[in-house]
Amino acid sequence: MNAPGRLVVDLAIILLLIVGVALFRSPRRARAGNLIAAFALLCAALLAFYHEQFFALAAVLIALSVGAAVGYCVAMKVDMVRIPSMVAFQNGAGGLAACLVAFVEMSGEAASLSAANIVGGVLAIAFGGVTFSGSMIATSKLSGVLRQTPVKLPGHSILLAGLAVAAVVFGVLSGLSAPASTALLLGLIAVTLVVGVVFSIRIGGAVMPVLISFLNAGTGLAAAFCGVVIQNRFLIVCGALVGASGSILTLAMCRAMNRNLAKVLAGLDARLADVSESFFHTESAPASEPDDDRSPLDRAAEAMKDAGSVIIVPGYGMALAQAQFDVVKLARELEEAGKEVCFAIHPVAGRMPGHMNVLLAEADVDYEMLHQMDEINPRFKETDLAIVVGACDVVNPAAINVEGTPISGMPILHVHEASHIVVCNLDEKPGYSGVDNPLYQNPRAILLFDDARATIGQLSEALAAASGEAGGGE
């Protein structure tokens, strides 16, 4: 095929990919979008086989089959709570691939590389190396191999800056030595791998969505730079697309936590001195109405029975307690009792952007019942009952009322505006931010501190009993 013909075919495939991404605007079409994007990449790969003659074809085909088979099997097995860890792992694999390809291309004998190729190659190695080791740390943290809490080394920022300078030096030196010296490139890889580790270990817990989005963007850019070194349009387009998507998600996550990206990445979010402590410090147990000798469970049952509208607010604690199926069952029972029920989702609930939506979708919730923060917040005022399940920081009114805490200014779900609030958290300890939650002192709040699964089960029973009584009595 001649050059213009190839360009047309390439553009057609790229267009297909763009259509696939565009279909993600609606949940009904996203599935088709995913399949179209997959098809576009398959076409691109088949086209490569059509145009080129490969050495060691058998080995290449075996490698393809092994990668595909393992990738497919692992993807089919992983459960939805572990999706963030899996995505981080796959992301790391992509970063490693970009790093390896650029390394082979740069260190090879061929060495007819232009300046553009060399710059692209050095960047691809650097981005690939950092995202590979960074993603491996992220996946270990998310799967519980490493502890989730941020690890801060002595002089962490200085160390990181020093490593970054070393990476730049290795990068420039290997760029200047033509053909690039293998030793220098290996040095560059080693330094970037360490940078990835040092960079990622001080990010943890609730800030993980930012890290994952950031690494996602990094792998995209690594692929794009890899495309520059081998002069392949597909790699550049696809990589840049992923880079854009990762950047948008990174910024969205920062906005949802009211944090500056630079500060998150510099680990400055990790628990500032808790100025709020004296503000919230109370000797007494969580306030309950003193004249009310009924148990909290009874009061919660009463509130459920009387409520006309209910908003359920799930947090990552729900996923940890594996309570999503029980929560959805309760939601259904409330609906059957004639109440208006919906879910309020905070953008950073979970361990990656939008994670909570997937967990609830898996528990068979109609996605029209899942309302995102900006849309649902005005409705809390008119809502009779808000049920919080395993969420703390994202419903902490201190974010609005108190200056100087780590979460001040972070947008939250306005649970405190509902007429009644039932809190089904494990305990009254503060969330990841370390800021005490004044919601627990709210007289309208009914606190059920226990394993969310057990609590939700009790609420289900209480609701059944209450509606049974009501039905029998009238």
Partner 1 sequence: MVNLILLVSILLVSFAVGYVLILRVPPLLHTPLMSMTNAVSGVTVLGALLLFVTRRTSFEMALGLAAVVCATFNVVGGFAITERMLKLFKRRERSP
Find the binding residues for partner 1 in span 158-217 (CB under 8 A). 212-213, 216
Residues 97-116 that bind partner 1 (CB under 8 A): 97-98, 100-101, 103-105, 107-110, 114-116
Q: Tell me the closest approach of the beta carbon of residue 28 to partner 1, in angstroms.
A: 8
- Whether 434 contacts 406, CB under 8 Å: yes
- Whether 329 contacts 460, CB under 8 Å: yes
Q: Tell me the closest approach of the beta carbon of residue 442 to partner 1, in angstroms.
A: 28
For partner 1, which is the closer residue by CB, 328 or 422? 328
Catalytic residue from among 79, 291, 293, 393: 393
Query: CA angle, corner 163, sides to 158 and 169, nearest 5?
Result: 130
CA–CA gap between residue 315 and residue 329 (Å, rounded): 17
Kind of pairing between the strands at 309-314 and 340-345: parallel
Element (H, E) at 344: strand 340-345
Q: Which residues of 103-115 are buried (b: 16+ CB within 10 A; e: fewer)?
A: bebbbeeeeebee
270, two tokens: 């990790």
Q: Tell me the closest approach of the beta carbon of residue 131 to partner 1, in angstroms.
A: 9
Q: Which residue has the tokens 């995102």?
A: 372
Report if residue 27 touches partner 1, rule: CB under 8 A: yes
Residues 357-376 that bind partner 1 (CB under 8 A): 357-358, 361-362, 364-368, 370, 372
Q: Tell me the closest approach of the beta carbon of residue 82 to partner 1, in angstroms.
A: 10
Residues 76-95 that bind partner 1 (CB under 8 A): 76, 78, 80, 83, 86-87, 90-91, 93-94
DSSP secondary structure, 24-93, as one string: GGSTTTHHHHHHHHHHHHHHHHHHHHHH-PPTTHHHHHHHHHHHHHHHHHHHHH--GGGHHHHHHHHHHH
- Sign for the CA dihedral angle at 54, 59, 60, 65 comes to positive
For partner 1, which is the closer residue by CB, 53 or 278? 53
Residue type, 285: A
Q: Tell me the closest approach of the beta carbon of residue 7 to partner 1, in angstroms.
A: 12
Residues 250-289 that bind partner 1 (CB under 8 A): 252
Binding letters toward partner 1, positions 210-249, x by CB under 8 A = --xx--x--xx-xxx-xxx-xxxxxxxxxxxxxxxxxxxx
CA–CA gap between residue 426 and residue 453 (Å, rounded): 10
- Whether 119 contacts 228, CB under 8 Å: yes
Residue of 7, 74, 111, 158 that binds partner 1 (CB under 8 A):
74
Closest by alpha carbon to 244, among 226, 214, 217?
Answer: 217
For partner 1, which is the closer residue by CB, 49 or 178? 49
Report if residue 121 touches partner 1, rule: CB under 8 A: no
Q: Tell me the closest approach of the beta carbon of residue 375 to partner 1, in angstroms.
A: 10
DSSP summary character for residue 293:
-
For partner 1, which is the closer residue by CB, 85 or 383? 85
Question: Residue 271 in 3-state DSSP?
Answer: coil
Q: Tell me the closest approach of the beta carbon of residue 253 to partner 1, in angstroms.
A: 9
- Whether 311 contacts 344, CB under 8 Å: yes
Q: Tell me the closest approach of the beta carbon of residue 204 to partner 1, in angstroms.
A: 19
Q: Which residue has the tokens 């080394």?
A: 153
Options 70-78, 173-181, 259-267, 308-316: segment touching partner 1 (CB under 8 A): 70-78
Q: Tell me the closest approach of the beta carbon of residue 57 to partner 1, in angstroms.
A: 8
Binding letters toward partner 1, positions 286-325, x by CB under 8 A = ----------------------------------------
Number of chain positions touching partner 1 (CB under 8 A): 116
CA–CA gap between residue 396 and residue 347 (Å, rounded): 15
Q: Is 346 exposed, middle or buried (0-12, 13-18, 19+ CB in 10 A)?
A: buried
Query: Does the annotation mark 291 as catalytic?
Result: no
Helix axes of 83-107 and 57-77: crossing angle, nearest 10 degrees: 160
Binding letters toward partner 1, positions 124-163, x by CB under 8 A = ----------------------------------------
Report if residue 15 touches partner 1, rule: CB under 8 A: no
Residue of 4, 5, 52, 278 that binds partner 1 (CB under 8 A):
52
For partner 1, which is the closer residue by CB, 16 or 297? 16
Catalytic residues, which ones?
Answer: 393
